[in-house]
Amino acid sequence: MRIGVPKEIKVHEYRVGLTPGSVREFVGRGHEVVVETTAGSGIGASDKDYRAAGATIGSVEDAFAAEMVVKVKEPQPLEWSRLREGQILFTYLHLASDQPQTDGLLASGVSAIAYETITDAAGGLPLLSPMSEVAGRLSIQAAASSLERHSGGEGLLLGGVPGVPPGRVVVLGGGVVGTQAAKVAVGIGAEVTILDTSLRRLRELDDLFGGRVRTRYSNADALEEEAARADALIGAVLVPGASAPRLVTRQLLRKMKPGSVFVDVAIDQGGCSETSRATTHAEPTYVEEGVVHYCVANMPGAVPRTSTAALNNATMPIGLALADRGLGALENPHIAAGLNVHLGLLTNRPVAASLGMEWSAFSPTSAA
């Protein structure tokens, strides 16, 4: 199969779909790889590095002419028109909160496989987890920076200093993002509370942190009390494939401290606050109800070397399966869970439900 790797064009997105090392694996399996010129510059990989790995360097048109296009972020409007029927798109999509992109992919006829809805035997999301780990850790860096006075924050150091108490971090959700956020927050000396609706997960977190974080069952009263105390509120909730639940209301924000910070890591899925709207690394924050909002929709793009390497570690086995077998690889139900769009139809039930659209079950037998 011929695989195309275009350069990402989303604002301040420096990651790339395949590293030179990954290209070498595809080429070693007998596949062709065409990489758009300078696609890897954001991770320090030159065209020479890709050629040495066995890739051909070409134009954006060359990359999108391939049988399978491997990206990182969801295709932008300019890219929708380059996709076509019979082609596989393998990337993050986050369609549940993006009607225009959904319409563009449906019109193209492409078979779009989303990293974020592929599953594993343990019920996890193996291609989402690496970026969730990165985003969770970055969320505390973002909160700490946003709390600085020049950024509009209350002028507080999250870790405190001897004689001065640390800041309070409240994490909504004890999954991958929330756990990683808590690890970094604890590491810098902040006071940390994690809210979740799963008692099993709260027990696991209590054991993991050995009493260094407070765990609390999440309900309306708990959320209100903890948000009012928080210096930094981290939105780390996820419903696989679907829009994020709007747990943070405008009324709740009004009870938070002026100059406190809300980091919405769920923004790729529409955000978990009534006041959330996607921002970019160029203009990452805005203020609503006196609270600094950080809602960057591609947080891991800020650290592209780490992010691209971590992502490729997870995506490469499935990318190779798709290259080897095409849509026949969807006989694996965990890979099939990643198919969101196929021949003008929505094939993921949670995505369709979030958008209020019909969905169609996909049969891998007919596509093999």
- pTM of this prediction? 0.89
What's 196's DSSP letter? E
Q: Which of 53, 94, 71, 105 is nearest to 3 (CA)?
A: 71
Task: Check whether 226 has a pLDDT greater than 60.
Answer: yes
Q: Which of 31, 94, 293, 342 is catalytic?
A: 94
Task: Check whether 366 has a pLDDT greater than 70.
Answer: no
Task: Check whether 116 has a pLDDT greater than 80.
Answer: yes
Place 272 in a pLDDT band, splitting at 50, 70 and 90: very high
Q: Is 268 a known active-site residue?
A: yes
Query: SS3 sequence, 219-281?
Result: CHHHHHHHHHHCCEEEECCCCCCCCCCCCECHHHHHCCCCCCEEEEHHHHHCCCECCCCCECC
Query: How does pLDDT run across 57-97, given as a tens digit for each residue?
Result: 999 999 999 999 999 999 999 999 999 999 999 999 999 88
Q: Which of 196, 231, 264, 268 is catalytic?
A: 268
Task: Check whether 367 has a pLDDT greater than 70.
Answer: no
Q: What is the C-alpha to C-alpha distance for residues 161 and 125, in angstroms, rounded to an integer?
A: 38
Cα-flanking dihedrals φ and ψ of residue 312, to 5°? -65, -35
Q: What is the C-alpha to C-alpha distance for residues 192 and 197, in angstroms, rounded to an integer?
A: 17
Percentages (nearest 5) of helix, strand, coil residues in the chain: 40, 20, 40
How long, in residues, is the chain? 368
C-alpha distances (whole Å) from 349 to each of 179, 293, 318, 358 are: 28, 31, 22, 8
Q: Which domains does the chain have, with CATH numbers?
A: 2-118+304-367 (3.40.50.720), 129-301 (3.40.50.720)
Task: Check whether 243 has a pLDDT greater than 90.
Answer: no
Report helix, strand or coil for 32: strand
Cα-flanking dihedrals φ and ψ of residue 318, to 5°? -75, -35
Please compute the mean of the pLDDT values over residues 293-314 and round it to a whole number. 95
Q: What percent of the chain is predicted at pLDDT more than 90?
A: 90
Q: Which of 135, 167, 144, 147 is nearest to 291 (CA)?
A: 147
